[in-house]
Amino acid sequence: MNHLAVLPLAIPALAGALLLIFGGNRPLLARALGLAATALGAAAAAMLAADSLSGEYRVYALGNWAAPFGIVLVADRLSALLVLLTSVIAMAALAYAANGWDLRGRHFHALFQFQLMGINGAFLTGDLFNLFVFFEVLLIASYCLLLHGLGQQRLRAAVHYVAVNLTGSGVFLIAVSLLYGVTGTLNMAQLAERIAQAPEADIALVRAAGLMLLGVFAVKAALFPLYFWLPATYASASAPVAALFAIMTKVGVYSILRVTTLMFGGDSGAASNLVSPWLLPLALLTLALGVIGALGAKRLGELVAHLTIASVGTLLTTVAAGGSAALAGALYYLVHSTVIVAALFLLTDLIARQRGAAADALVAAGALRQPVLLGIAFLLGAATVAGAPPSAGFLGKVMILQGTAGAGASPWIWATILASSLAALVACSRAGSVLLWKVGAEPAPEALPARGGEWLSLGALMAVSLLLVAFAGPLHRHAEATAAQLLEPAQYVQSVVGGNTERAPRPLGRELPR
């Protein structure tokens, strides 16, 4: 168990390197190795999540250099939960891709593993600069995955995606440089200590860096007004890539959550609650505009992409409201929204392939080849993403509403969440009526039925959504414990800077300075 925290990074990193060396011209070998590595990573993530139930922080010093001199990975309840969620989405997406999507270009499986390494690293790192590094790893892999299969629409979306995110990366570096210049460290635990003790002369620089970080993370999370890159990007990506991208916005949400509670929380001196005045109105606007975009969507993929934006708005509205109860509801909703959005991207592809030239456009077309199965899947997915009872979406929103009842802006929060739920239901109903009812007598000649492996991947994600309902009680209790741990940054700081740190083996038996 000593090296458990590093396995979610080491496994995809090693697998990605092996795939680049041996898998380029051997598609079946690449597929087998990719699936095996992802399954092994999922097992490691499950072990890490089980280990986190104790409530202790697992701190791992890379290179055997303890904080503050070295780089650390920190696994707590939240990071372990998100690594496990990433593994669940990755297994379903990769199994779906193994039905033919992975053969439409070279190095799909290597890029997929590097993407996993970047996402897991962002969740586990305890160092701000390495958060930037893992952002770049996942973004570079995502650039290539977005173009997988080629196509003019994907190329256009990729150029927009690259331009926006490269700008964000430049701002990230400036913010990191400012914080390092003021505090002399980029270890997040030490930053929490030193920001709280920063002299008056440095407060303006600290606050400027903090707001820059909010801007960068807002790009990653797709927060208003920096979300315009997302609809075209997600709607144009291939189905398994779009499903994996469902977790990428959560990297931005996680980063906002981690930084605001740890480095700019209530105990951060003059920089306390730095982003709170900005986050709530931006989150409410994101939620409102996300569902408005869904109402106006002309393609099913665009509708799901806009619902992804709306889910980000719901999450960050709850984060901005503050409080352990609200945050617990947000964490349950985070898991639900990621799973159901990934499932809907897979379902979009299955529907589009059975409509011939019409694809996923919300216009009348020929009959579907598998109307009953697709209709049931769409009904379940639409009801869940809109929050209809008794789905996981409904339970998540009830938890959020209960948790935000005492917030000062609760009337605005309740009104926006309830109105957005109704709008999402209308948008999904409109799409379903066109796709499932306004159909011709016969399927289009080029319509392709779904394969068994594709149904299995979609069914697995739908089953996870149903399990979130069946085990809502224990999952909510775990979310409450996770929120309570997140809102106690002193424990994080003590574990990283002053606690017992697990270390990697000493290279060549040398004793390294501490």
Four-point Cα dihedral 458, 153, 168, 327, nearest 10: -30
Q: Does 503 score more than 50 pLDDT?
A: no
- Is the pLDDT confidence value at 409 over 90? no
**Taking residues 487-504, what's their average pLDDT?**
72
Which position has the higher pLDDT, 433 or 443?
433
User: Which pLDDT value is given to residue 510?
Assistant: 38
The tokens for 150 are 């080629």
Task: Give the pLDDT score at 508.
Answer: 39
- pLDDT bin (cut points 50, 70, 90) of residue 307 is very high
Write out pLDDT tens, residues 6-17: 999 999 999 999
List pLDDT tens digits, range 184-242. 888 888 888 888 888 888 888 888 888 888 888 988 888 988 888 888 888 888 889 99
Look-up: residue for tokens 């939240």?
78
Give the model's confidence band at 68: pLDDT under 50 very low, under 70 low, under 90 confident, else very high.
low
Would you list the DSSP string of 177-190?
HHHHHHHS--BHHH
Note the pLDDT of residue 511.
Answer: 40
State how far the Cα of 351 lies from the Cα of 354, in Å rounded to an integer.
5
**How far is the C-alpha of 290 from the C-alpha of 287, rounded, in Å?**
5
Q: What are phi and psi of 75, to 5 degrees?
A: -110, 120
pLDDT reported for residue 441: 62
Residue 96 identity = Y
Q: What is the pTM of this model?
A: 0.90
Banded model confidence at residue 444, pLDDT cuts 50, 70, 90: low
Q: Is 503 helix (H, G, I), strand (E, B) or coil?
A: strand
For the four alpha carbons of 142, 299, 460 and 482, in that order, the dihedral sign comes to: positive
- What tens digit of pLDDT does each residue of 110-155 get? 999 999 999 999 999 988 889 999 998 988 888 888 887 666 777 7
